[in-house]
C-alpha cells in the first residue's frame, strides 16, 4: 500500500470514529435544546487530521437544521472536543466545524421539481391529443 493510500485510509477511519463519538455526545451530553434531534451525517478530515468538518441534519420530521442549531453546535464545539479527548486516542483532537447537510433537503426539492415537470408533460400530452 502506498503511503498516500495509507493516509487516506487513516483519515476515513478517524472520521468514522469521530462521527460515531460526536453522535453519542450530541445525543447524551449536549444539553442545548437547539441541538435536539440532530443527526451527524458525515465527517470530513483535512490531510493532517487537525480539522474536522461535521455535516448535520435534523432527525425524521425535521429534514433540515436551522442556523441556530449549527450555531449552537459550533458554540459547543470546545465542550465536544473535550469529551472526545476522553473517548478517543489521538495526539491532537481536531478543531470541529459544524455545517448543515443539505443533501436530503435538496433531494426532496429536486424530486418535487421532477414531479412537477412530469405533471406538466402529462398536461401537455392531454392538450395535444396524446402527441408531444
Note the pLDDT tens digit of each residue in 7-35: 999 999 999 999 999 999 999 999 988 88
Grid cell, residue 42, equals: 458525515
Sheet holding 95-100, edge to edge: 38-45, 51-58, 95-100
Q: What are residue 57's DSSP bridge partners?
A: 39
DSSP letter assigned to residue 1? -
pTM, to two decimals: 0.75
Confidence (pLDDT) at 124: 59
Residue 66: pLDDT band by 50, 70, 90 thresholds? Answer: confident
- pLDDT score of 104: 66
Question: What local confidence, expressed as pLDDT, does residue 122 receive?
Answer: 62
Q: How far apart are CA 61 and CA 72, in angstroms?
A: 20
Amino acid at each position: 500500500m502506498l503511503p498516500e493510500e495509507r493516509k487516506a485510509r487513516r483519515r476515513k477511519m478517524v472520521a468514522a470514529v469521530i462521527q460515531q463519538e460526536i453522535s453519542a455526545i450530541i445525543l447524551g451530553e449536549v444539553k442545548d435544546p437547539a441541538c435536539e434531534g440532530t443527526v451527524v451525517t458525515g465527517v470530513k478530515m483535512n490531510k493532517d487530521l487537525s480539522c474536522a468538518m461535521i455535516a448535520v441534519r435534523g432527525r425524521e420530521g425535521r429534514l433540515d437544521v436551522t442556523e441556530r442549531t449549527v450555531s449552537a453546535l459550533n458554540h459547543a464545539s470546545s465542550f465536544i472536543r473535550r469529551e472526545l479527548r476522553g473517548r478517543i486516542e489521538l495526539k491532537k483532537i481536531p478543531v470541529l466545524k459544524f455545517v448543515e447537510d443539505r443533501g436530503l433537503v435538496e433531494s426532496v426539492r429536486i424530486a418535487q421539481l421532477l414531479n412537477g415537470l412530469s405533471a406538466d408533460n402529462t398536461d401537455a400530452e392531454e392538450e395535444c391529443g396524446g402527441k408531444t
